[in-house]
């Protein structure tokens, strides 16, 4: 089950298609959908979580809390809509494309993809791109 929660004035376009897409990506990787909660917020909200739980005094676009058990994918994914907008400008892409990239990025972490090393980042980006293509076919 995927739920979308909003701590700011923002609404995800077509929650149903986005949920279907996420589930397809999870199943394509050989995992099963458990419970994933997306919480859309602003920089201040996410910064507070970053300080409280990770002791990082930085702005970020996403923080994910992983509750995956074996192949059952679940967790809470907090996304700063402000950061996503800024990143979209910086990377010369649409807000929607960057938002979907971040949405699936959190799920990829639940499926054991990492992004600490250059090699891991390259694999993560490749998977994001692969899954964004699936979204375009839904």
Residues annotated as binding site for Zn(2+)?
105, 109, 115
For 52, residues 6+ apart whose C-beta sits below 8 A from its C-beta are none
Using alpha carbons, list the distances in angstroms from residue 66 to 14, 35, 69, 132.
25, 11, 9, 22
Q: How far apart are CA 24 and CA 19, in angstroms?
A: 9
What are the binding residues?
105, 109, 115
Bin 61: left if φ > 0, else alpha if -120 < ψ < 50, else beta: alpha
Handedness of CA 116, 120, 124, 125 (dihedral sign): positive
Using alpha carbons, list the distances in angstroms from residue 116 to 44, 50, 52, 120, 123.
25, 17, 21, 6, 11
């Amino acid at each position: 089950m995927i739920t979308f929660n909003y701590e700011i004035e923002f609404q995800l376009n077509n929650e149903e298609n986005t949920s279907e897409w996420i589930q397809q990506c999870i199943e394509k990787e050989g995992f099963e959908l458990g419970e994933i909660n997306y919480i859309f917020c602003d920089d201040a909200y996410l910064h507070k979580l970053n300080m409280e739980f990770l002791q990082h005094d930085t702005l970020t676009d996403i923080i994910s809390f992983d509750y995956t058990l074996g192949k059952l994918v679940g967790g809470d994914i907090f996304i700063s809509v402000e950061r996503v907008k800024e990143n979209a400008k910086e990377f010369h892409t649409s807000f929607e494309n960057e938002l979907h990239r971040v949405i699936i990025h959190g799920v990829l972490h639940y499926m054991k993809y990492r992004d600490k090393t250059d090699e891991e980042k390259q694999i993560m980006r490749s998977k994001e791109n692969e899954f964004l293509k699936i979204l375009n076919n839904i």
